[in-house]
Structure 1
Amino acid sequence: MRVFLVAGEPSGDRLGGALMEGLKTLVPGVQFDGVGGPLMQEQGLVSRFPMSELSVMGLVEVLPKFFHLKRRISETAQAVLDTKPDVLITIDSPDFSLRVAKIVKAGSHIRTVHYVAPSVWAWRPGRADKMAKVIDHVLALLPFEPPYMERAGMECDFVGHPVASEPIATPQDISVFRQTFDLGDAPILLALPGSRKGEIERLAPCFGEALQLFLAERPDFRVVVPTVGPATDLINSIVPNWPGNALVLDPRKVSASQATAHKRAAFGAADLALAASGTVSLELAAQNTPMVIAYKLNWLTQKMAERMVKLDTVTLVNLVSDTRAVPECLLDDCQPDKIASALKHVSENPTEQYDAMSVTMERLGRGGEAPGLRAARAVLERMRA
């Protein structure tokens, strides 16, 4: 069996790696091709070009790279058509992925699967109908998503999220982490301003000012900044201006497995987190780490989003648990004083989030079959049907 996969950012790389591991378990000898990051490469993928080239978000951010991305879309689609895999699996990054799938569908009968349902329940509901023209099967991360996809004419399976089955940091892991990085017994505040260059540049100055305000009242906190390889140089250029003697966890200095272990231990050790909106909220919930979510967009992208977004929350923990336990400072509210106030509230009332985080993990499949294996099984069963 030959599988062509395309992932465009670190969260997609995690999904892809887990899916590939599941496919290898169910189909010994399966062959992989495509585009992915370090976790997918650990499972045997030789990426056709660096995945980081695709990690762009927002209309204004995409424009300068438009022609390069368009070329990569054509190259990737042609590679699929030339190699004729049994299935094309695109993972998130819909602006890139679905354009590749469109070209592939126009030139072949190759089966197409998209992993991560678009958030049509939040904005642009018409996307599902357009997607159904080029995608046969959707793997959904959230339990309420299949009806939206099926209504548009696609097969869809809820497969859970790999974060729900990933290991939890043990007390020993946390102790070793603190010793390794000389953190002592200080309470830890994670700062996570994103993984893409554009969002880091937008959020990092605001995060730094918010930390300054918060740490003025809580100077005992130590700031720790986990990051991903392509973003590390940018983070290292910004963080020296932050308070809290910030520690950057550089994944390039250790193996991929060790970098993952350091990040997991950091999340488990943390008493509090300030994070960009995205999958990271689920990673924090998996480690039971109370959080504040903050995010803002480029001005033009923000104005478009304000017209299209239909929900009063964007944080996945809030959505999956059907609560509003995680405070958000979004768009115009992404201001240092508001963020600092939210951090203070959560630091003083951390237990408010614990039930919501527990419910989130349960609903995403904790305790059941590993989502990567579940996703692999869904792909294979639908292909045989």
Structure 2
Amino acid sequence: MKKLTITRPDDWHLHVRTGAILKTVMPHTARQFARAIIMPNLKPPVTTVAQALSYREEILQAVPVGLNFTPLMTLYLTGSTSASEISKAAECEHVQAFKLYPAGATTHSDAGISDIKAAYPLLAALEKHDMPLLIHGEVTDEACDIFDREQVFVDTTLTDISRNFPELRIVVEHVTTAEAVQFVQSAGARIAATITPQHLMFNRNALLAGGIRPHHYCLPIIKREHHRQALVAAATSGHPKFFLGTDSAPHPTSLKEAACGCAGCYSAHAALELYAEVFERADALDKLEGFASFHGADFYRLPRNLDAVTLVKTPWKVPGAYSEHSLSITPLKANEELAWQIQQ
């Protein structure tokens, strides 16, 4: 196959930051996706509808003229979130969900939930208002090996949440393990998952073999090969519970290539092309449209997009960096060749 046309996709997990970074990265997402679920972990975090609407306007200002893109906003769930704010969010057409970060789990998660059971009244309010809960599924116990944190979260915390709130719609963000895939597959229809390109493409050798590769470092961390294979099988299965969520997370190169580098892979520059390579390798290009364009919209109860995007099999080289003024962001697969590209 040399050309593939699919319904324009959406990104159901995206970081675009703010300020100069936002202006640099937003065109990459807007050229290929119609909508994206925007993560709220700014500093300070986006915790109110008013803040979300202000952030939405900043994002829209960064969308290039001529491109049609809709940011779908989320609120950061904290211990001080009120039931009234949840009610207000449920009534706002521009706010789609709340995001739960276990405190300390990842970038800018220090305002997250330290005692999830203490937050159960908030989860009850989300369930009442049918507001989806997006979960970064890792425990933060320092005694737990970093490669086991997702599995432990699934076995303990996530199982308890799903049992106590059976009507709550939950997206297990950026699943990375066979255990998380199995949990989502066996759970009810109200539980789904996003999968990133880096977790589909790489196992942990890509992070550590031959030297530390900081631009492959993300959280949850990349796992063993059998976990990667389980993710590819889920993504390419056509199962409606699994859909595209890049978790594209831009950081200045200087903060990635540092003594204590930031977690996050920047993939928005070539997101759909990266997924296409994975699906082609699995002989499943016919399943890409469902994963990228249908399953997420259906889960969020939003209309599917009506326009299309075309991928052509024409090799191109990813730039070493995307730079603007003094800002430089190193993308995933920098200076490497990709087989597919979006037809402009």
TM-score by length of 1: 0.31
Larger Rg: 1
More helix by share: 1
TM-score by length of 2: 0.34
